[in-house]
Structure 1
Amino acid sequence: MRKSILLLKKKISPCVILKNVSATWNSNAIDSMANVTKVLFDVNIDIKSRALIAVIGSVGSGKSSLLNTILGELQIISGNAFCFGKFSYASQESWIFEGTVRDNIVFNEVLDIGRYNEVLKVCALEDDIKFWPHGDLTMVGEHGISLSGGQKARINLARAIYRNADIYIFDDPLSAVDAHVANYIFEECFKKYLNNKIRILAINQTQFLKEMEKILLIHNGSIEFEGDFENLQKQEPSKYLKDFIGESIEKDSDDIKKNTILSAEQKLVQNFENDKIEVYDARNEKQEKGSVKLKVFTSYFKALDSWKWLLMVILLFIAGRGVLSGVDYFISRCTSRSVKRIESASIYKKKRRSPIYSHVNKTFQGLVTIRSIQAQQFMEDQFNMFQNSNASSWFLFLATTRAFVIWLDFLCVFYIGIVTYSFLLLQEQFFSGDVGLAVSQSISLITMCQWGLRQSAELEIHMTSVERILEYSNEISEAPLESTPENCPKDNWPFYGKIVFSDFNMKYSNDGEYILKNLNFEILPREKIGIVGRTGAGKSSIIQAIFRLACNEGEIKIDDIDISRLGLHDLRSKISIIPQDPVLFSGTLRYNLDPFNKSNDDELWKALEDVELKEFVSSMIDGLNFRMSDGGSNFSMGQRQLVCLARAILRQNKILILDEATANVDPGTDKLIQKTIQTKFEQYTVLTIAHRLHTVMDSDRIFVMDHGELIECGNPFELLQKADGHFKQLVYETGSENSKILYEIAEKMYIK
C-alpha cells in the first residue's frame, strides 16, 4: 500500500517509487477480490531526483491511471508505492470553480504577489488578463463558462504551478492550447520555472519528447519502455511505439523564444496594492429592495388566466365566514358556550441553500485536485462558513417570527379584555348569550387576525420567489423550439451542407462586446474547412453562432435557408458536433451512442468498429449495455472523444463540426479520427477547429481567426506561399522539422 512521509519531519529527498504495483479503480478491491478489473500491472518506477518525465501511450493505455496511483487515488492490489514530498496536480479536465480568476489560481494558498505574477507570466496568462475587463478580478462562472478552452487549461495549470510543491503532476496540460502557447509554456514553465522539481507529464504532444529526461511508454496498464528519447528511437517499433516515433518529433530549440508570446508590460502590482478593489461579477443577480411591489402580486394573480376563479375563491371565503358566524349566533341563543378556534399553521421558510449546493458540486468535481494538494480542510472550512451563514439566517427568521407572535398575543388578550369588560358599562338589557357570542366572536376574529397577519408576512416572503420568476420571465428568451409551418424545413434538410455568413457579428449578451466581427464567407457543400488561430481568437464562437447559442447579428444561411427563421430543435438536430469537452450522459453506452433509438445493434457495432472501440467494448461484460458514469468518467478522455465520434457517424447529418476533437488523444488515435473523417464524412461538410495543425493541413481551405475577425482564408498550400502570412507564421512556430512536414502535406493535397 502507499506510504506517505512528511518531508518537513525528516530530511528526505522528494521521490516517487513504485515496486511491482498493480492497481484498480475499485475501492472495494481488498474486501472482495472477485471480478476486480486491474488498470495497472506490475508497474515499476524509481524517481529519486529532480527530473522532467513524460508518460505516453495510446487512448485507454493507463496514463491517467498511473498518475492517479501516484496521487493515491487508486486502490493498490499488490506491490508498494513510496511517494515522499509535497504534491501539486493539474487534472486533464480543467477544474474551474465560480469565483475570480485570482481565486481559482491562488485557491487555498497564501497570496504572494511576486510568485503570482511569475506564474501568470510562465502560464501565458498576462495577455488574457489585459483583455478581461477587470483583469484577474473578473468573475468566472461555474465550470468556467465565460472562458475559452485554452484559458481554462492555463488557469488550471497556473493553480498547480502556484503551489510551492516538490512533485508536480500534469495530466495532458497542453492539449487545449495552440502550438505557439504550448511551446512557450513548456520552455518557460516546465523546463525553467520548475527546473529544480520532479515533473511528471502525461502528454500527447510528440514534439516535446526530445526534451524529456525520461520517457515512460505505457500500454494496457504496463510500462513497455522506460528511458530517454535517444533510446526510444533505437527501440524496435512496435504497433504502439510507431504512433509516437513514426512522425518527426524534432524541434529546434531556437524556435522557442521568450518573445514568441506577447508579454504584458504593465504588471498587476497596482491591483494588489488596493485591498478594497472592487471584484467584478458578470453573473451578479438583480436583487430588489424593500417590500414586494404591487405589480408582483398583480402579475401573480394574472397568471390564473381568469378573474372568475379568483372571484369565486373570495366569495366562497366570505360565504364560509358568514355561515360560521350564523351558526355561532344560533348557538348563542341556546345559552351554548362552544367556541370555535383556529390553530395557526406552522411556518416554514426555505433556507437559501444555493451556495452550499454549489460548493458541494464544485468539491466533487475537483475531488482529485483537492486531495492531491491537501486542501480538504480548506474546503471543509468553506462549507462550514456557508452552512453557518444559512443557519444564522434561518435562526433569525424563526426568532423574528416568534417575537411577532408574542406581541400579537399581547394585543389579542388586551382586546378580549376590553370586549368582556365593556358589557359592565352597558346600561341596556342584553341576553346572557350575547356576552358569550361577543367573546367567542372576538376570540375567533382575533385568531383569524393573527393567522392573517402571519400569513401576510409569510406571503410577502414567498412572493420574492414570484418576483424572481417574473424577473426571469421578462428576460429575452431563446427563439421558439419549433419552426412555424411556413418556415419548417424538409426532413432531409440540409440537402448539401452549404453555409454562408453575411455581415455577421456576435456577442454573448446584448450589452456585451462583440466576439465575432464582420464575418463574410461561404462554405461550399462537402467542403472541408480548418479553423485555426490563437487561444481565444474566436474559433469556438463560430460554432456557437451556427447553433444560435448567443446574440447573433447579421445572417447565416444553410442551404439558402436563414437559420434565424428556424426553430432551435429543427436547426440543432441537423448538425452534428464533437465538442472540445466530450458530452456523455449517465446511462448505458447504447444510450450515449443512440439516444433516440434509431439504429440497430449492427449499426452500433459498426460505428464502434470505425472508431476502433469495438474490441474494447466487446471485452466488457455488458457490452453495449455497459453503464457509463456521469460525464463518462469511467472512460478515458480519448475514449470519450471516440464515443462522440461514433455517435456523429450514426447521426449522418450533412454538417459535422469538430471543436478540438483530437486535443486529448494520442497521435495514433488522432490519425484514426482523421482517417475516419476522410472516409465516413467524405460527402459531408466538415468544420474542424484544431490546435494540431497537421489535422487541418489536408483541408480544402483554412480560416485564420484573430480577435473575432477572419484575417486570412484560402487553400493551405496557397497560404503558405505568403511571405508574411498569418497561417505561415503559425506553421513556422511548430518548429523547422514539423513545418517541413506540414508544408509537404499541404503541397501533396494541393497537387492531388
Structure 2
Amino acid sequence: MGCMSVVSQDSGPDKNDKPAVYTSGASRSYVGQMPMITNATLRNNVFFGLSADTEEAKVKLEADYTEALAVSALLPDLEVLPGGDQIEIGEKGITLSGGQMARVALARAVMAARPGGLVLLDDPLAAVDAHVGHHIFHECIVGALAGTTGLLVTNQLHFLSHASVARVIVMKAGELVEEGTFAELAAQPTSNFSKMVSSVGGSQQQKDESKVEQKAPEKAGEANIKVVNTGNGELVKKESKAEGVVTWATFHFWFAALGGIRVFLMLAVCSWMFHLAELVPDIFLVGWQMDFFTQETNWYFGICVGINLFGFGMLIFSRFSWVHFTFKASRKIQSSMLRRIMHCPMGFFGATPSGRIINRLGEDQMQIDYQLPSNFQVLCISSWQVVDQLALGISCRPWVGVFVLIFGMLFVLMREIYRRTSREVIRWWVVTKSPVFNIFEETLSGSTTIFAFGREDYFGERFERALQVNMEWLMSRDVANLWSEQRLMCLSSLVVGVLAVLMVMMPSAGASPQLTALGLIYALQLGFSLKSISQYLVSVEGVFTSVERVMEFTNDLQQEPPWQMPADAALVQAKWPQDECSLVFEDVCVRYLPHLPRALDGFSVSLKDREKVGLVGRTGSGKSTVMGTLFRLELESGRILFGGVDIAGVGVGHLRRQITIVPQDPILFSGELRKNLDPLGVRTDAEVWAALKGCSLCALVESLEGGLNAKVAEGGINFSVGERQVLCLARALLRESRVLCLDEATANVDPTNDKRIQEVLSQGLQDCLVLTIAHRLHTVLRSDRILVLERGYLAQSGPPASLLAQPGIFKELANQAGIYNVISDAPLPTQAEGEEVKSI
C-alpha cells in the first residue's frame, strides 16, 4: 500500500515566477525513484538541456539555478565536491551518493517547473537523512515549487499533515481506495490511511511540521563521494587511441590466441594447397594435351577426376581449418577480455562509460570474429596466387620477373600511402563509436525522465551529433578504399597489358606453346592479384587496430586482488570459517586516491560471531566503506581478521563466498525468477519458497504467471523498486553466508513489509553476523550493538538503549528522527517523525 499526496496550487512568492524567456520544453517535471543521472557535470545534469537566448534570460537562468541548488540542499555538497558544480558525474551517477542523486533530480525539477505546471515526485525523500528531508520538503516541495500542481508519492506520512497538502490519495493493489485531506482520513479509525498512520507512530505524525527544528544540510567533509575525480578534475578520460604502425606485439597477441605461429603457418600452407588445387588441374590438362605421360585417355581422365576431388577436399579442409582455429582464437580473446573486465576494481567502472566497454566487446570483437579471419585468409590465398602465377610465368619467360619486380615496387608505394590513411581512419572510426553506444544506452534507460521533461529533441541531437561524427569517419574510410581501388585498378591494368606484350613478344625458354598459353592466361590475372595483396595487407592491419584495442583491455586493465591465493586450499579443507566468525578491524585506514582525505581513519572494532550490528552516521561518514573493506577493498594500513584469519591472505573468490551483501540499489537479471533467487541452482523449491515466505513474497510470486519460473524483464522493470529490493533480500537469505551486509536493504518497502522483514532479520539469522547500514534508525534499534561513524572513525559504540541515554551523535540523530527511547519487548519500534519509508 502506498500514499500519494497532491500539493496545493498556490500562487507562491514572486521569486518563483519564471518567465519562459529561455527554452525549457513543456511545463512538467519528474523526479523518479531511481533518478536519471547522465555522464556529464553536475551543472549539466541540473540544467538538463535548458538554454538561454538573451543576456537577460541568461542572468535569470543563473539565478534560478542558484536557487534550485539551495532549496535542494546541494550547496553544502558543492563546497566539498572536487570542482564544485563542474564535477564530472560518472555513468548512472556513480560519483554521487543516492541522496545526492535524488537532490540533483530535485534541482532539475525546480529549474524546469513553471507556475501552473505539473511536478511528479516519486518518493524523493527516502534517500536522504531526516533533517535534509525536512529541508527539502519545506524549502523545495512546498516552497520553491509552490504555484505548481505537485503529485508526491511517499510513505512519510508526517509530511502530509502540512497545510500545503491539499489531498491525500491512498493506493492499494493498483487501485485508488481512499481520498481526502489528512484530517479527514485520519479521523476515520477504520480507514486504510488511519491504520497506516498508526503503524508508523500516529502520535508523532500529527505534530505541526513547522515546529520541528530544521537542521542544516551536511557541511564540508560529509558529502559521500563514492568515486572521486582525479587530481585534474577529469573522471572519465578520453578513450586512448594508438598511433603509427601496428606493433608486432599486437600480431603476437593474436597468434598466441590462435595457437602459436606454427598454427598460422599450417593455415597458410592450407591456403597454398587450396590454390594449388585450382592450378594443378590446368597444368595437368596441358600435359594431357601434350600426351606428356604417353598414357591412354581413360588414365588421364581418371587422374584428372582424382586431382579435382583432391582439390575439393583441400577446399573444405582449408576453410574448416581457418574457421576452427580463428573461432577458437576469438573465443579465447573474448573470454580473457571479459574475465579481466569483471575483475576490475569499481573505480574502473566509474571512469569508463559502458559504451566504451560495449564497443570493445561488440564492434572490436566482431572485427576479430569475422573480418580478421576473412581478410587474412584472402590475403594468404592472394599471396600464393602471386607466387604461383610468377613461378608459371617465369618458367615460360624468365625476363618477366624483372618487370614484375618493378611493378611490385609501384604497388608497395601505392599501398604505403593508402595504408597510413586507412589505418588511422579505422582507429578514429572505432573510437568514435563508443559515444554512440553510451548515449544510446543512457537515453534508452532514462527515456521516462526525458519524455516527462519534454527533452526528446535535446537528447536526439546529442545522439545525432555522436552518430554524425562516427559516420564521417566511416565515410572517410570508404573514400580511402575507393581512392586506392581506382589507382590499384589502373596499375593492375598496366601490369596486365605489359605482361601480355612481354609474353607474346619475348622468345620462349624452351616452353611448349600450350604451357606458354597457360602462363599468359595467369599473367593476365597477376595485376589483379597484386591489387588484392595491396588492399588486403592494409585491411588486415586495419582490423588489427581492433586487436590492439582488445589487447589493451586484456593486458593493461588494473585488477582487483587475486581471485585465488595459496592459503585458500588449506582454508577450504579446514572449512573456514565454520566454528568462529568474529570480525576484527585493527586500525584500518582507507584512502581512495592519494590526494584525498582518508575515507576510514584508524577504524578499530571487534565484532562477535552471530552479533547483529547497526552502522549509522551522517552522509559520508564511512559506513559503506566499512562494508567495502570486507570485500578486499585495498587498505592503506591496518588489517581485518575474519574468523581469526587476515583477509589480505585470502583469495577474493573464497572470501566473497562467505559474505553476502544486499545493496541499496536492487539488481535483478533478465530470465527466470528462480534463476535470480538461486543463480547456481543449488537450492530446492521448498527452500526457495521458505525464503520467499520469510520475506512475505509468497503471494506476489504465486500471482505471477509461471510462479518461480516467471519471466523477469531486463533490469527487473516488471517489478517495483520495493519488490526488487525484497527479492534481493530473499536471494541473500538463500546463500546462508556467515556474514550478511545490508546497505539500506529495506529502504524501498512499505511499513508493513518493513516490519516483517525486520522480524526475519532478527529471528531468522541466528547463525549469521549481520551488518546493517541505516539512515532510518528504527531499522537498527533491535541490534545488539550500534556503531556510530563520523568522518571515517568510530565515534560511538554500544547497545541502542545505552547510546540513547548519553549525549552524542547517535542521540542527536535519534532526536532528529523523533526517537527518544528503545522498547525491548516483542513489538518493533515504530517509525517516528522524520523517518523515511519508501513505497513499493
- TM norm. shorter chain > 0.5: yes
- Partner residue, 2:99: 150
> SS where residue 713 of structure 1 aligns?
strand
Counterpart contact for 2:5–2:152, Cα < 8 Å:
no
| 1:728 equivalent among 804, 807, 811 | 811
Which residue type is aligned with residue 780 of structure 2? V
C-alpha change, 1:446 and 1:509, in structure 2 (3 Å) is farther
1:169 Cα offset (Å): 1.0
Counterpart contact for 1:184–1:261, Cα < 8 Å:
no
- Partner residue, 2:152: 201
Q: 2:488 matched to 1:408?
A: yes
- Partner residue, 1:121: 70
- Partner residue, 2:133: 182
Counterpart contact for 2:4–2:151, Cα < 8 Å:
no
Counterpart CA distance in 2 for 1:650 and 1:621 is 23
Counterpart CA distance in 2 for 1:142 and 1:617 is 33
For the pair shown, the structure with the greater C-alpha radius of gyration is 2
Counterpart CA distance in 2 for 1:138 and 1:261 is 18
- Partner residue, 1:18: none
Of Structure 1 and Structure 2, which has the larger fraction of its residues in helix?
2
1:511 Cα offset (Å): 8.1
Counterpart contact for 2:695–2:730, Cα < 8 Å:
yes
1:657 Cα offset (Å): 1.0
Counterpart CA distance in 2 for 1:286 and 1:107 is 28
- Partner residue, 1:580: 664
C-alpha change, 1:122 and 1:416, in structure 2 (3 Å) is same
1:600 Cα offset (Å): 2.5
| 1:389 equivalent among 436, 448, 469 | 469
Counterpart CA distance in 1 for 2:34 and 2:7 is 26
- Partner residue, 2:535: 454
- Partner residue, 2:356: none
Q: 2:551 matched to 1:470?
A: yes
**Superposition pairs for residues 207-356 of structure 1, below 5 Å?**
207-211=158-162, 212-237=165-190, 241-246=194-199, 247=201, 248-250=204-206, 253-257=210-214, 259=216, 261-262=218-219, 280-304=234-258, 306-312=260-266, 322-328=387-393, 353-356=433-436
Gaps of 5+ in 2: 13-25, 53-60, 222-231, 273-379, 399-403, 405-414, 416-421, 830-840
1:173 Cα offset (Å): 0.5
Q: 2:750 matched to 1:666?
A: yes
Which residue type is aligned with residue 48 of structure 2? F
Counterpart CA distance in 2 for 1:223 and 1:390 is 50
Counterpart contact for 1:660–1:688, Cα < 8 Å:
yes
Q: Give CA-to-partner distance per residue, 1:54-112, whole Å, 9 cap, x none.
A: xxxxxxxxxxxxxxxxxxxxxxxxxxxxxxx8321111112222222222221122262
Larger mean CA deviation between 628-637 and 390-399 belongs to 628-637
> SS where residue 529 of structure 1 aligns?
strand
Q: 2:462 matched to 1:379?
A: no
Which residue type is aligned with residue 385 of structure 1? R
Counterpart CA distance in 1 for 2:641 and 2:524 is 73
Gaps of 5+ in 1: 1-38, 53-84, 265-277, 334-338
1:658 Cα offset (Å): 0.8
Counterpart CA distance in 2 for 1:157 and 1:447 is 66
- Partner residue, 2:30: 89
Q: Give CA-to-partner distance per residue, 1:480-517, whole Å, 9 cap, x none.
A: 43454545435854324322223333355688764333
- Partner residue, 1:274: none
**Superposition pairs for residues 419-458 of structure 1, below 5 Å?**
444-458=525-539
| 2:778 equivalent among 694, 719, 726 | 694
Q: 2:822 matched to 1:718?
A: no
Larger mean CA deviation between 705-714 and 662-671 belongs to 705-714
> SS where residue 710 of structure 1 aligns?
strand
Counterpart contact for 1:528–1:699, Cα < 8 Å:
yes
**Superposition pairs for residues 348-367 of structure 1, below 5 Å?**
353-367=433-447
Q: Give CA-to-partner distance per residue, 1:601-623, whole Å, 9 cap, x none.
A: 33322222222222233233432
Of Structure 1 and Structure 2, which has the larger fraction of its residues in strand?
1
**Superposition pairs for residues 32-43 of structure 1, below 5 Å?**
none
Larger mean CA deviation between 465-474 and 244-253 belongs to 244-253
Counterpart CA distance in 2 for 1:718 and 1:45 is 38
Counterpart contact for 1:141–1:283, Cα < 8 Å:
no
C-alpha change, 1:311 and 1:493, in structure 2 (3 Å) is same
C-alpha change, 1:224 and 1:304, in structure 2 (3 Å) is closer
C-alpha change, 1:374 and 1:102, in structure 2 (3 Å) is same
Counterpart contact for 2:396–2:511, Cα < 8 Å:
no
Counterpart contact for 2:393–2:519, Cα < 8 Å:
no
- Partner residue, 2:613: 529
1:187 Cα offset (Å): 1.9
- Pairwise CA RMSD of aligned residues? 4.2
| 1:49 equivalent among 1, 4, 9 | 9
Larger mean CA deviation between 251-260 and 214-223 belongs to 251-260
Identity across matched positions, percent:
32
Counterpart contact for 2:41–2:88, Cα < 8 Å:
yes
C-alpha change, 1:106 and 1:579, in structure 2 (3 Å) is same
Which residue type is aligned with residue 170 of structure 1? L
- Partner residue, 1:80: none
C-alpha change, 1:514 and 1:403, in structure 2 (3 Å) is farther
- Partner residue, 2:111: 162
- Partner residue, 2:419: none
Counterpart contact for 1:508–1:551, Cα < 8 Å:
no
> SS where residue 371 of structure 1 aligns?
helix
Counterpart CA distance in 1 for 2:32 and 2:594 is 34
Counterpart CA distance in 1 for 2:597 and 2:529 is 56
1:394 Cα offset (Å): 1.1
Counterpart CA distance in 2 for 1:666 and 1:396 is 57
- Partner residue, 2:123: 172
Larger mean CA deviation between 419-428 and 555-564 belongs to 419-428
Q: Calculate the TM-score normalised by the size of structure 1.
A: 0.77
Q: 2:572 matched to 1:489?
A: yes
Q: Calculate the TM-score normalised by the size of structure 2.
A: 0.69
Counterpart contact for 2:8–2:166, Cα < 8 Å:
no
Counterpart CA distance in 1 for 2:590 and 2:532 is 54
C-alpha change, 1:542 and 1:387, in structure 2 (3 Å) is same
Counterpart contact for 1:96–1:144, Cα < 8 Å:
yes
Counterpart CA distance in 2 for 1:605 and 1:312 is 57
1:693 Cα offset (Å): 0.9
Q: 2:435 matched to 1:479?
A: no
Counterpart CA distance in 2 for 1:319 and 1:284 is 42
Counterpart CA distance in 2 for 1:551 and 1:398 is 51
C-alpha change, 1:653 and 1:240, in structure 2 (3 Å) is farther
Counterpart CA distance in 1 for 2:391 and 2:242 is 45
1:323 Cα offset (Å): 4.7
1:221 Cα offset (Å): 2.8
Larger mean CA deviation between 169-178 and 604-613 belongs to 604-613
1:436 Cα offset (Å): 7.2
Counterpart CA distance in 2 for 1:372 and 1:249 is 32
> SS where residue 35 of structure 2 aligns?
coil
Q: How many residues align?
A: 655
Larger mean CA deviation between 43-52 and 621-630 belongs to 43-52
1:332 Cα offset (Å): 7.2
C-alpha change, 1:480 and 1:240, in structure 2 (3 Å) is farther
Counterpart CA distance in 1 for 2:664 and 2:11 is 31
1:553 Cα offset (Å): 5.4
Q: 2:48 matched to 1:107?
A: yes
C-alpha change, 1:453 and 1:428, in structure 2 (3 Å) is closer
Larger mean CA deviation between 381-390 and 409-418 belongs to 409-418
Which residue type is aligned with residue 529 of structure 1? V
Q: Give CA-to-partner distance per residue, 1:234-282, whole Å, 9 cap, x none.
A: 2214566433333132556344436455489xxxxxxxxxxxxx98343
C-alpha change, 1:421 and 1:327, in structure 2 (3 Å) is closer
Counterpart CA distance in 1 for 2:585 and 2:195 is 42
> SS where residue 94 of structure 1 aligns?
coil
Which residue type is aligned with residue 104 of structure 2? I
- Partner residue, 1:652: 736
Counterpart CA distance in 2 for 1:746 and 1:120 is 44
1:369 Cα offset (Å): 1.4
> SS where residue 531 of structure 2 aligns?
helix
